[in-house]
Copies of this chain bind each other. A is one copy, B any other.
Amino acid sequence: MQELSRLPGIGEKSATRLAFHLVRGNRQQIQDLAQALLDVTDKIRLCSSCMTLTEADPCALCTDPRRDAETICVVASPSDLIAIDRGGHFRGRYHVLHGLLSPLEGIGPDDLRIAELIRRLAGTAEVPPVKEVIIATSPSVDGEATAMYIARTLKPLGVKVSRIATGLPVGGELEYSDQATIARALAGRATM
C-alpha cells in the first residue's frame, strides 16, 4: 500500500483497494505486472536523435524512411508527441524538449533538450538538413515563452521556424470562447 500510494493520483484509499485486488488476484497477473515495471527501467531510454522514450535507439519515428526528415515538430513531452501523431496528419519528425521554460519552477533553457535540437539542424551523412522547425508547445504562458525562446535561438541559424495556430477549436462556438482566444483567432487570421 505504501509503495502504491506514491504513484500520482493514487491516494491512501485507492492504494488499499489496489493492494487487496492484487493480493486476491492470480499470481501470474502480478508477476506480469512486476516484470513490466522492471522492463520499463531496464529497456526504455531516450532516442539519441529526437529524445522521445523508446526501446530501440534511434526510435522507430527517426528511422521511418517515409517520414520527412526536413521538418521537425517540437513538443514538450512524449505524451504530446503521441497526441499529435495519433491524428496521422503530420508526416515529419519530432523533437521532445522534456519540459517547458518556467522561471517560477526554476526551469531554464539548459534543463530542456534544446542543445540536442540545434545539433540536429545541420543533418548528418544519412539525414538531410532541417528546413522547418514547427514549435508545437501548448498556448499556455510557459508554452509561449518556450516557443519564443526557441524561435530566437534558431532563426539566426537560418532555419524556418513556425508556430502552430492558436484560435477557436474545431466545433467551438464564438459566443462561448474566451476573449484571449478570440483576440488570437482574429490576429492569426489567414487569407482565404
Q: What is A's interface to B at a CB cutoff of 8 Å?
A: 73, 75-77, 79-80, 83-84, 86-87, 89-90, 134-140, 147-148, 151, 155, 160-175, 177-192
Cα(A172)–Cα(B164), bound, Å: 12
- Contact assessment for A162 and B182 in the assembled complex, using a CB-CB cutoff below 8 Å: no
- Contact assessment for A183 and B138 in the assembled complex, using a CB-CB cutoff below 8 Å: no
- Contact assessment for B192 and A163 in the assembled complex, using a CB-CB cutoff below 8 Å: yes
A170 to chain B, nearest CB (A): 4
The 4 closest A-B pairs by CB, nearest first: A165-B167, A165-B188, A87-B179, A151-B192
A67 to chain B, nearest CB (A): 14
- Given the interface pairs A134-B189, A186-B136, the reply to whether A75 lies near B174 with Cβ below 8 Å is yes
Which residue of chain B is the closest to A185 with respect to CB atoms? B164
A174 to chain B: which residues have CB within 8 Å?
75-76, 80, 83-84, 136-138
